[in-house]
Amino acid sequence: MTVSVTSNATSAEAPISPSAEAQGSISAEAHSGISANSSRSAIRKHVRALRRTLSGDVQTAAAIQAAQHLLTELADARRVALYLENDGEISTRPLIEALWQQGVEVYLPVLHPFAEGHLLFIRYDKHSEMRDNLYGIPEPVMACHRLCPAYRLDAIITPLVAFDDSGNRLGMGGGFYDRTLAQLPDSTRVIGLAHDCQRLPALPVEAWDVPLTTIVTPSRIHRLPPRN
Ligand SMILES: Nc1nc2c(c(=O)[nH]1)N(C=O)[C@@H](CNc1ccc(C(=O)N[C@@H](CCC(=O)O)C(=O)O)cc1)CN2
Ligand SMILES: Nc1ncnc2c1ncn2[C@@H]1O[C@H](COP(=O)(O)OP(=O)(O)OP(=O)(O)O)[C@@H](O)[C@H]1O
């Protein structure tokens, strides 16, 4: 089956501009004042503000380009965890639609009701009842029969605030994905998803950070060697 990724906002053949702007990439000056010596909170504030400035057209093109990369990466996956965009993140909507068309099971993160700082993954389809979590992000209403333990997922696409040239990942600060990734078997592929402007040369790293070996941005797929 051939599945194409298109934009709902425009015509079926939405033009994808290869320009730097359409890729959400930016000049080096946009990150001036930020380095591996900056605090994690300063980096979060800076990159979150930057990605929120991306226009609707740039966001639409970014989501389509990222979905095209991810569909090739996820060719054999049957159960995939994604996220619903928040705070200027790349939208996963075109990817979710394409995966649904292919019959792939899509899961979304839900904040664990008792185990603070942990995530559950609940199956998401077009009939899912949704409720905002405490951060205002929509999540499927908890239902035990729709739960998938993280180790049974074929792939987890992680949101992130910033990544660096070594594959280090900085998130929103809750440690939710760090805790999830720390327990995964090798059979679960982990792929970061971000705008090009979320890439920095180097990030400050903590002992609990789990580095990524694949990060998809609209412009390309970044591959890093695994660390042992
Ligand atoms: N789209 C998306 N969904 C996701 C995540 C994510 O990064 N992106 N998460 C990834 O972990 C989890 C939610 N983690 C989050 C952690 C902090 C904030 C946040 O906005 N914090 C506020 C302060 C909130 C408060 O304490 O009241 C802030 O930093 O401004 C949002 C989500 C699960 N779902
Ligand atoms: N594997 C873990 N076990 C226990 N605590 C952890 C683990 N990973 C992270 N934490 C805790 O979570 C808190 C937030 O971590 P950090 O700032 O790295 O989150 P983040 O990577 O920005 O967020 P996220 O992983 O949700 O995207 C830290 O206080 C850290 O001690």
Nearest CA to ligand 1 atom 6: 159
User: pTM of the full predicted structure?
Assistant: 0.92
* ipTM of predicted assembly, 2 dp: 0.96
Task: Decide: 191 and 73 in contact? Cβ < 8 Å.
Answer: yes
> Distance between CA atoms of 186 and 168, rounded to whole angstroms?
18
First to last CA, the chain: 38
Three-state SS at 125: coil
List the chain domain ranges: 15-223
Region for 136 from its dihedrals, namely left if φ exceeds 0, alpha if ψ lies in -120 to 50, beta otherwise: left
What pLDDT does residue 157 have? 99
What pLDDT does residue 183 have? 92
Nearest CA to ligand 2 atom 30: 175
Q: What is the pLDDT of residues 148-193, one digit of tens each?
A: 999 999 999 999 999 999 999 999 999 999 999 999 999 999 999 9
The set of residues, in sequence order, having a beta carbon less than 8 Å from that of 91 and lying 6+ positions away, is 59, 60, 62, 63, 85
Residue 169 CA to ligand 2 center (angstroms) comes to 11
The set of residues, in sequence order, having a beta carbon less than 8 Å from that of 139 and lying 6+ positions away, is 84, 108, 109, 110, 111, 122, 130, 131, 132, 133
What pLDDT does residue 227 have? 87
Q: Does 133 have pLDDT greater than 60?
A: yes
Residue 170 CA to ligand 2 center (angstroms) comes to 9
What pLDDT does residue 14 have? 34
Tell whether domain 15-223 is in CATH 3.30.70.20.
Answer: no
**How many residues comprise the chain?**
228
Q: Quote the percentage of the chain above a pLDDT of 70.
A: 88
Pick the atom of ligand 1 nearest to 86's CA. 1
Nearest CA to ligand 2 atom 10: 175
Residue 175 CA to ligand 1 center (angstroms) comes to 10
Report residue 32's pLDDT band, with 50, 70 and 90 as the boundaries: confident
Q: Which ligand lies nearest the alpha carbon of 109?
A: 1
The set of residues, in sequence order, having a beta carbon less than 8 Å from that of 165 and lying 6+ positions away, is 199, 201, 202
Mutate to test the pocket of ligand 1, among 118, 130, 172, 179 (most ligand atoms within 8 A of CB): 172
